[in-house]
Every structure is written in structure tokens, then in C-alpha cells.
Structure 1
Amino acid sequence: MIGSLNGVVAAVGEDTALIEVGGVGYVVQGGARTLGRLRAGETARLFIETHVREDAIRLFGFDSEEERAWFAHLQTIPGVGAKVALGILDAMPPAVLIDAVALQDKAAFARANGVGPKLAARLATELAAKQGPKGFIAITGGAARAAAAPASGSRAEAVSALVNLGIDQSSAARAVSAAAKQFDADAP
């Protein structure tokens, strides 16, 4: 299985990029955000999720290992395939996705291409009840366990501090998210 590709971008299309590595060109599918940062002729590194089917091998590329892990994790929810998972990750980077899961924010999921109200509700409910991608976030009872979420940085530390003070994880995650939104609104 291919874990990452590091090579020269030969071409970038609407939903794919051609990455040349050691004289071999790999067609990699990706989201608009990932593909938007790639430029033909420049070197790029993408973390790869490989899908092997009877009739095709498909490579999906991501900016980070965390994003790749969330792509795979999202597809454990019934009704979420590769296209919808890419749409969700285009709408929400992993740090925002972690908040949406912790807060069971159906509206955040509904903003993604290919996600209607029923699927948004299913995503919010089922992801909150599942263990998140291994090594990135653990989800229990609808709240993020911040100590396991390295990508969320200071938010994770704030949630962890509140939990250590005796506040339940769900309330801590909501409070930190609300404070972050307030801070963003007050920023110049």
C-alpha cells in the first residue's frame, strides 16, 4: 500500500493531480483545498489513502496524515463514500471537524457538498459515538477527549484543563468552542 507520494506535480485537474515519482506518474484524486495548493512543476508531498477495487486502484491525496485518517474514518458511516468524505474535508479541516463531532453540529456537516439533512444528522450522531481516527482523537459520549487530539492545539489544552477541573468533556468542548468563536469574532 502507498502511504505517501513525494514528487513533482506534472498536472493538476479539477479533481485529480498527476504526481511524478521516480519516473512513474501517479493519478491522485483529492479535494479542492488540497489540489488548489498544488502547482505544476513544483514538488509536493501528499499522504495517500489507497482504495483497491476489482476494476481499479484509486489513490486519494491529502495534505496531512490526520486529514487522511479522517477521510478513512468518515467512510465508516453508512452513506459516506469517497466523494462525500472529500466534500466534508473540503468544508471542514480536521480541527473544525473535531469540533463539529464533539458538538454534534449537524449544520456544519450539512454545509459539505453531498451531505443532506438526514446524512448530516447521522454523521453528527454516529461520529460522536465512535472512537475517532487512531492517534488523533478519541470520542466518547459525544465529547472530544482533547489529550488525544494533537492537531487541535490550544483548544485541546483548554478542554483538557477544564476536564481536569472536574467539568465533563462534553460541556468543556462546548465551552471552548464557544470561547473560540467569541475570540474569532472579537479579533481585528
Structure 2
Amino acid sequence: MIGKLRGRVDAIGESEAVIDVNGVGYLVGMGGQALARLQQGEDVEIHIETQVREDSFKLWGFLSERERAWFARLQLIQGVGAKAALALLDALGANELESAAALGDSSAFGQAKGVGPKLAGRLALELKDKPPPIGRAFTPGFNVAASAGIASAKSGDETAGSNAVREDAVSALLNLGYAETDARRAVAAANRAQPEAVTGDLIRLALKELSK
């Protein structure tokens, strides 16, 4: 199986890219937002989810391990295939996807192309009160959940800082004795209300949410 590719962007299509790794071109399916961040000829690191079926072998690529982990997690839910999972990541991004999951926000899931009210409700129900996917650790001591993603390509809102702030706030609430599900829900609500909040402000906003 292939878990990661590091090479050069050889070609960019409507729903896939060719990544040249030492002269071998790997055809990688990617979401529209991720493809828009690529530039032909640039060096890039792509996190890969390999899917093997009876009649196919497919590589799905992401600019952060966190996105790949969410892609895999979403497909554990009945009715969510690869295209729906990509649509959800395209519409929300990993940060808002995590917030929607923590808050059980079906309306947020419904923003994704092809995700109707029934499926959006199922996503909200099954993802609520569950911790986000951990992902793979590629280096000793590397915490994917606390580092939003590493990619040489431009990664939009998937910055290490923004997710590290959220995880620091969650950790602080856990140290205060709050349950993880409650802490994540409060931090998600606080982050949605004030996306640019620094850790201290996010903790204070989350504590207000918990006191309601």
C-alpha cells in the first residue's frame, strides 16, 4: 500500500493530478480545493489513502494527514463513499468539519454537494461525541491532531497554528476536569464564534459555553 508520495506535480486535471516520483507518474484523485492549491512543476508532499477493490486500485491524495484521516473516517458512515467524503472536505475543510462533528451540526454537513438532509443528519448523529481521527504519525513524537498538516503545497486554512490552538484549549479544559466530548464541543463552538482567537481567549469562550 502507498501512504505518502513526495515528488513533483506533473499534471493537474479536473479531479486528479499526476505526481512524478523519480520518473514514475502516480495518478492521484483529489478534491477541487486541494487541486486548486497545486501548481504544475512544484515539489509537493501528498498524503495518500489507498483503496483496493476487486476491479480497481485507487489513490486518493490530500495536502495534510488530518484531511486524509477525516476522509477515511467519513467513509465508515453508511452512505458516505469517496466522492461524498471529498465533497464534505471541499465544502468544509478539516477545521469546520471537526467543529460540525463536535456540535452535531447537520446544516453544516448539508453544505456539501450531494449530501442531502437525511445523510447530513446521519453524519451529525454518528460523528457527535466522538474524538476526531488521530491519523498517522510519520515522525517520532509527531501529533497529527495537534499539527493541522504538513505539505509543501499551500494548505489554505489547514495551518498548524490554528489547530494547535484548538488542541491546546481542549487540553486545558481536560486538565480542569471536563470530559473530552464536552471540551471539544465547547471549543468548537468558541472557535466558530471567534475563528482567530488565541489560546487564552478560546479557553475563556469555551468556558462560557460550558457554563450555559
Scaled to the shorter chain, the TM-score interval is 0.7 to 0.9
Contact 2:102 2:129 in 1 (8 A): no
Match for residue 6 of structure 2? Answer: 6
Q: 1:129 to 1:177 in 2, by over 3 A?
A: closer
Match for residue 175 of structure 1? Answer: 186
Tell me whether 1:149 sits opposite 2:160 in the alignment.
no
Deviation of residue 123 (structure 1)?
Answer: 0.7
Contact 1:75 1:81 in 2 (8 A): yes
Distance 2:144 2:9 in 1: 34
Q: What amino acid sits opposite 2:2 in the alignment?
A: I
Deviation of residue 34 (structure 1)?
Answer: 1.1
> Where is the strand percentage greater, Structure 1 or Structure 2?
1
Match for residue 162 of structure 1? Answer: 173
TM-score, normalising length from structure 1? Answer: 0.82
Distance 1:79 1:65 in 2: 23
In the TM superposition, what whole-angstrom CA distance separates every residue of 1:83-128 from its partner, at most 9, and x where no partner exists? 0000111112222222111111111111111111110110111122
Deviation of residue 149 (structure 1)?
Answer: 3.3
Distance 1:179 1:127 in 2: 19
Distance 2:193 2:85 in 1: 29
Match for residue 16 of structure 2? Answer: 16
Match for residue 65 of structure 1? Answer: 65
Q: What number of residue pairs does the alignment pair up?
A: 176
Q: Unpaired runs of 5+ in structure 2?
A: 137-142, 149-162, 198-212
Match for residue 28 of structure 1? Answer: 28
RMSD of Structure 2 on Structure 1 (CA):
2.4
Q: What amino acid sits opposite 1:10 in the alignment?
A: D
Query: What SS is found at the alignment partner of 2:128?
Result: helix
Distance 1:25 1:160 in 2: 42
Q: Unpaired runs of 5+ in structure 1?
A: 137-146
Q: Percent identity?
A: 53
Query: What SS is found at the alignment partner of 1:159?
Result: helix
**Which one has more relative contact order, counting CA pairs under 8 Å at least 6 apart?**
2
Query: What SS is found at the alignment partner of 1:93?
Result: helix
TM-score, normalising length from structure 2? Answer: 0.74
